[in-house]
């Protein structure tokens, strides 16, 4: 069965065929870098990382783009606040930090948080501030086509004319009459309250560094426009998949689609949306304050367990965080890990030779990760039974299959993990050897060389080589040890 994906625009699961054979172009909305991430943001990264890995496993070359919104009202407000009298600096927000420094800093924090759970870097990570020229070109095309206009007041804004575009609302299946007003600008200069800003004229208090010259006056880009300009720059006017969180469907993605399609671009062929991470049923969000940070999760569980937790649900479903969730993920990870360590690493199968058909079917079925994980755990169970029965060949094959599956899911760190108890065993060995070396040193001090030599021979027979140095005796393992 070939890959099928749920497309928000057609509200149906459809066969996925890329535009170009063998290649997939994927754009997904990244962060507005106004603050540190919460785990909701990271889930979105994990979801599109799993999609990318699955596409790559099935043989596609994937070109992926995740943008960085590095200029935005919220970023400017946070930076401005850091200069205000009475501002209380915190670890996250020091005093007197320019907006661009704040944005760069949080971009790094986001990247570190994605990296900590094995989200691979996309092919391109464009920043909005680096694509002003492309945005101007897109605005001009829209004005020329009669779908955008400079504000009728002196704000310097440029708006998309929603009434001029019959298809407006096609992504979220709404008619214009039922839509909420665009909140992003003063309605006075607009033809319709739902018209949204493509370009925002700068205000007297805005920092000069956050405004660019344009044919319509100095200003900065509207958020929606950034994604249209950057996705098509790197992926072409029509590309395969546009992703992002469900919260971005409207207005962000609706507006991206409207302005790109109105400018004549084919734009995204599939729209994929990840479900929200919620806390007590409500969207985890900085503005609500109900957030769990990646650091909080890493404090109680290993990165691989955090990744397991954030990736385990179906990508379209809501993931409601509960305090007991991480220990469960940790236990699941340990089950897999223990089996791999029992089975050993000696296999030479390719992933394709051992990947269970049921796993492939689950992943091809709109990335049904819960079903795929069921196959993974079943393989672990069968593999453990094979080991119990002394059937090493079967166990090794199962281990190879488990390895292939966890690699697709981004849990491959499991293979490199130390066998449970290895660190403790190493410490115990060091203690025992040290006791022998102390006894040998005492014997030498008492000029009892027979005993000293005997101790050295016993250690050698156990595979431990002793070397006398001016700083005292040191030891190492003679057979492939440390």
Q: Which residues bind ligand ATP (CB under 6 A)?
A: 29-32, 38, 40-41, 43-44, 244-245, 247-248, 274, 276-277, 283-287
**Minimum CB–partner distance for residue 247 and Zn ion (Å):** 11
Q: Is 227 annotated as a binding residue?
A: yes
How many whole angstroms separate alpha carbon 461 and alpha carbon 23?
58
**What is the pattern of x (binds Zn ion, CB under 5 A) and - over residues 22-61?**
-------x--------------------------------
Q: Is 426 annotated as a binding residue?
A: no
Nearer to ligand ATP, 232 or 274 (CB): 274
**Minimum CB–partner distance for residue 295 and Zn ion (Å):** 26
Nearer to ligand ATP, 29 or 443 (CB): 29
Q: Which residue is nearest to ligand ATP (CB)?
A: 245
Q: Is 286 annotated as a binding residue?
A: yes
Nearer to ligand ATP, 277 or 406 (CB): 277
How many whole angstroms separate alpha carbon 124 and alpha carbon 127?
10
Q: DSSP E strands: which ranges in 155-303? A: 158-160, 197-201, 219-221, 238-245, 267-274, 277-279, 282-283
User: Tokens 């993974």 belong to which residue?
Assistant: 376
Nearer to Zn ion, 158 or 227 (CB): 227
Burial group, residue 15, by CB count within 10 angstroms (0-12, 13-18, 19+): exposed
The window from 130-138, 193-201, 224-232, 303-311 that contacts Zn ion (CB under 5 A) reads 224-232
DSSP label at 194? T
Buried b (16+ CB within 10 A) or exposed e, 347-377: beeeeeebbbeebbebbbebbbbebbbebbe
Contacted by 227, from Zn ion, ligand ATP, none: CB < 5 to 8 Å by type: Zn ion
**Minimum CB–partner distance for residue 135 and ligand ATP (Å):** 18
Q: Is 252 annotated as a binding residue?
A: yes
How many whole angstroms separate alpha carbon 52 and alpha carbon 428?
43
Cβ atoms of 71 and 106 within 8 Å: the answer is no
Nearer to ligand ATP, 319 or 455 (CB): 319
Residue 22, SS3?
coil
Nearer to ligand ATP, 44 or 231 (CB): 44
**Minimum CB–partner distance for residue 99 and ligand ATP (Å):** 16
The window from 227-235, 270-278, 308-316, 457-465 that contacts Zn ion (CB under 5 A) reads 227-235
Laid out side by side, the sheet with 61-66 consists of 61-66, 23-28, 238-245, 267-274
How many whole angstroms separate alpha carbon 461 and alpha carbon 457?
6
Q: Is 433 in the site for Zn ion (CB under 5 A)?
A: no
Residue 38, SS3?
coil
How many whole angstroms separate alpha carbon 1 and alpha carbon 26?
22
Q: Is 56 annotated as a binding residue?
A: no
Cβ atoms of 344 and 396 within 8 Å: the answer is yes
Nearer to Zn ion, 229 or 406 (CB): 229
**Binding test (CB under 5 A) with Zn ion, winner from 227, 319, 360, 376:** 227
- Helices 325-343 and 369-388, interaxial angle, to 10°? 40
Contacted by 277, from Zn ion, ligand ATP, none: CB < 5 to 8 Å by type: ligand ATP
CB under 8 Å to 371, separation ≥6 — which residues?
A: 358, 362, 365
Q: Which residue ranges are tagged as binding site for Zn(2+)?
A: 29, 227, 252, 256
Instruction: State the binding site for ATP.
Output: 286
- Contact set with Zn ion (CB under 5 A): 29, 227
Report the binding-site residues.
29, 227, 252, 256, 286
């Amino acid at each position: 069965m070939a890959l099928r994906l749920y497309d928000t625009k057609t509200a149906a699961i459809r066969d996925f065929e890329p535009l170009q054979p063998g290649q997939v172009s994927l754009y997904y909305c990244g962060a507005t870098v106004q603050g540190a991430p919460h785990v909701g943001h990271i889930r979105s990264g994990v979801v599109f990382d799993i999609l990318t890995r699955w596409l790559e496993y099935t043989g596609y070359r994937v070109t992926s783009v995740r943008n960085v919104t590095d200029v935005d009202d919220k970023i400017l407000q946070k930076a401005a606040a850091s200069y205000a009298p009475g501002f209380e600096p915190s670890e996250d927000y020091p005093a007197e930090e320019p907006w661009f420094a704040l944005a760069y800093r949080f971009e790094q924090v986001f990247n570190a948080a994605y990296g900590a759970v094995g989200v691979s870097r996309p092919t391109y990570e464009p920043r909005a501030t680096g694509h002003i020229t492309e945005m101007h070109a897109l605005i001009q095309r829209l004005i020329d086509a009669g779908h955008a206009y400079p504000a009728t007041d002196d704000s310097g804004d440029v708006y998309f004319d929603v009434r001029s575009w019959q298809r407006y609302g096609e992504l979220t299946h709404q008619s214009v009459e039922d839509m909420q007003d665009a909140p992003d600008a003063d309605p006075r200069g607009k033809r319709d309250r739902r018209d949204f800003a493509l370009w925002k004229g700068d205000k007297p208090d805005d920092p000069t560094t956050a405004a660019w010259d344009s044919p319509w006056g100095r200003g900065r880009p509207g958020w929606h426009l950034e994604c249209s300009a950057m996705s098509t720059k790197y992926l072409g006017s029509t590309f395969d998949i546009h992703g992002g969180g469900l919260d971005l469907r409207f207005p962000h993605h609706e507006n991206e689609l409207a302005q790109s399609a109105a400018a004549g671009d084919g734009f995204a062929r599939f729209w994929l949306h990840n479900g929200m991470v919620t806390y007590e049923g409500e969207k985890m969000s900085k503005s609500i304050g109900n957030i769990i940070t990646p650091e909080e999760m890493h404090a109680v569980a290993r990165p691989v367990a955090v990744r397991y937790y954030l990736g385990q649900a179906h990508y379209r479903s809501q993931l409601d965080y509960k305090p007991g969730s991480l220990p469960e993920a940790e236990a699941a990870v340990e089950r897999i890990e223990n089996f791999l360590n029992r089975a050993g690493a000696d296999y030479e199968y390719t992933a394709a030779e051992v990947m269970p058909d049921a796993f492939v079917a689950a992943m091809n079925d709109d990335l049904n990760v819960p079903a795929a994980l069921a196959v993974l755990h079943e393989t672990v169970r069968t593999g453990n039974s094979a080991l119990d029965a002394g059937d090493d060949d079967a166990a090794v094959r199962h281990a190879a299959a488990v390895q292939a599956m966890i690699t697709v899911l981004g849990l491959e760190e499991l293979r490199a993990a130390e066998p449970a108890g290895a660190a403790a065993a190493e410490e115990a060995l060091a203690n025992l050897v040290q006791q022998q070396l102390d006894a040998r040193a005492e014997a030498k001090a008492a000029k009892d060389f027979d005993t000293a030599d005997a101790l050295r021979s016993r250690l050698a027979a156990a595979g431990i080589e002793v070397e006398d140095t001016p700083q005292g005796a040191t030891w190492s393992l003679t057979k492939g040890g440390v």
